[in-house]
């Protein structure tokens, strides 16, 4: 007969911290409600799994650097009549496109919700178990440039492989200078058909030659990005402007 006083130690050794914490409380409930042994064990296992899942979500959310609160639920689709909520719902809730390493491009003028929607899709995919990393494109480009100078660009690119989706916010803010552009191109080439990119931009493709060093690189980058991609164009008034005007109107 095993010794139940050893249970906390045994459970910890098996890396089951929630079971170690809950077994006694749940035993009380089980006795009261007359559960069978296997029901009790199943309930304990369920608690361990639920706790593990919630820790995983927390960890992935933190690592993603996604802006908090920017969810689809918080998005007012009435302000963007040309957007189909179902399309966005599918991109946020259906992991198929990410598993196929497809890309998503969100274009539109400033303040119309590009970053918000990109983040909302990221949140949705994390909930579905995918790994996501959100970054202003300029910040990532700077990191990659440093890595390149230190001759560790391949490692830096490989480190991003663990993310199923990389959100490059505001690609148009990257301005061409030899170094910058080539690391951005190398990133795009590296992700091609192996990992998804979600890119937001104020500028349509016609102005991407301001980002990349020369026309050939611009064409090659666009080619790879759009090969398997969904493109969403937001036509709306700036939400920032709209809300500040509404506030002003309410005050007068």
Segment near ligand ADP (CB under 6 A), from 108-116, 124-132, 142-150, 222-230?
Answer: 108-116
Q: Which residue of 11, 16, 44, 80 would you call a contact of ligand ADP, by CB under 6 A?
A: 80
Instruction: Give me the least distance between CB of 102 and ligand ADP, in Å please.
Output: 21
231: which strand partners? Answer: 105
Burial class for 86, CB neighbours closer than 10 Å (0-12, 13-18, 19+): exposed
* β-pair type (196-201, 103-107): parallel
Instruction: Give me the least distance between CB of 200 and ligand ADP, in Å please.
Output: 6
Segment near ligand ADP (CB under 6 A), from 18-26, 42-50, 75-83, 147-155?
Answer: 75-83
Look at residue 123 and give the partner it binds from Mg ion, ligand ADP, none, a contact being a CB closer than 5 to 8 Å depending on partner kind.
none
Instruction: Please state, in angstroms and as integers, the Cα–Cα distance from residue 122 to each residue in 11, 39, 65, 138, 150, following that order.
Output: 35, 37, 10, 19, 31
Which residue's entry shows tokens 């506030």? 247
Backbone angles phi, psi at 139, to 5 degrees: -65, -45
Closest CB to Mg ion among residues 23, 75: 75
Closest CB to Mg ion among residues 11, 136: 136
Instruction: Please state, in angstroms and as integers, the Cα–Cα distance from residue 40 to each residue in 53, 62, 148, following that order.
Output: 20, 33, 55
Residue 134 binds ligand ADP (CB under 6 A): no
Residue 116 binds ligand ADP (CB under 6 A): yes
Question: Is there a contact between 140 and 84 (Cβ–Cβ < 8 Å)?
Answer: no
Instruction: Give me the least distance between CB of 203 and Mg ion, in Å please.
Output: 12
Look at residue 70 and give the partner it binds from Mg ion, ligand ADP, none, a contact being a CB closer than 5 to 8 Å depending on partner kind.
ligand ADP
Q: Which residue of 18, 22, 71, 115 would you call a contact of Mg ion, by CB under 5 A?
A: 115
Q: Kindly state the tokens that stand for 225.
A: 């990005």
Sheet containing strand 229-233, edge to edge, reads 132-136, 165-169, 196-201, 103-107, 229-233
Closest CB to ligand ADP among residues 145, 200: 200
Instruction: Give me the least distance between CB of 15 and ligand ADP, in Å please.
Output: 40
Q: Which residue of 110, 177, 244, 246 would you call a contact of ligand ADP, by CB under 6 A?
A: 110
Our CA angle for 179, 183, 188, nearest 5°, is: 150
Residue 220 binds ligand ADP (CB under 6 A): no
Contacting positions for Mg ion (CB under 5 A): 114-115
Contacting positions for ligand ADP (CB under 6 A): 70, 75-76, 79-80, 108, 110-116, 239-240
């Amino acid at each position: 007969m095993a010794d139940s006083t050893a249970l906390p130690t045994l459970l910890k050794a098996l890396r089951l911290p929630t079971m170690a914490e809950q077994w006694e409380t749940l035993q009380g409930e089980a006795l009261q409600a007359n559960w069978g042994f296997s029901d009790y064990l199943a309930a304990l296992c369920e608690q361990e799994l639920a706790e593990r899942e919630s820790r995983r979500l927390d960890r992935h959310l933190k690592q993603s650097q996604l802006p908090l609160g920017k969810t689809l639920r918080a998005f007012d689709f009435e302000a963007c009549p040309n957007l189909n909520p179902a399309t966005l719902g599918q991109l946020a809730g259906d992991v198929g496109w990410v598993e196929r390493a497809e890309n998503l491009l969100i274009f539109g003028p400033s303040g119309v919700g590009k970053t918000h929607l990109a983040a909302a899709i990221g949140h949705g995919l994390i909930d579905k178990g995918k790994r996501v990393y959100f970054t202003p494109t300029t910040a990532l480009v700077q990191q990659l440039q440093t890595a390149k100078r230190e001759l560790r660009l391949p490692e830096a690119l490989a480190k991003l492989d663990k993310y199923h989706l990389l959100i490059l916010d505001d690609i148009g803010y990257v301005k061409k200078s030899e170094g910058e552009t080539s690391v951005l191109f190398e990133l795009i080439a590296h992700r091609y058909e192996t990992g998804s990119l979600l890119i937001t931009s104020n500028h349509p493709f016609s102005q991407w030659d301001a980002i990349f060093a020369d026309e050939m690189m611009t064409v090659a980058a666009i080619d790879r990005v759009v090969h398997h991609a969904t493109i969403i164009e937001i036509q709306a008034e700036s939400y920032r402007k709209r809300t500040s005007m509404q506030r002003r109107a309410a005050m007068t």
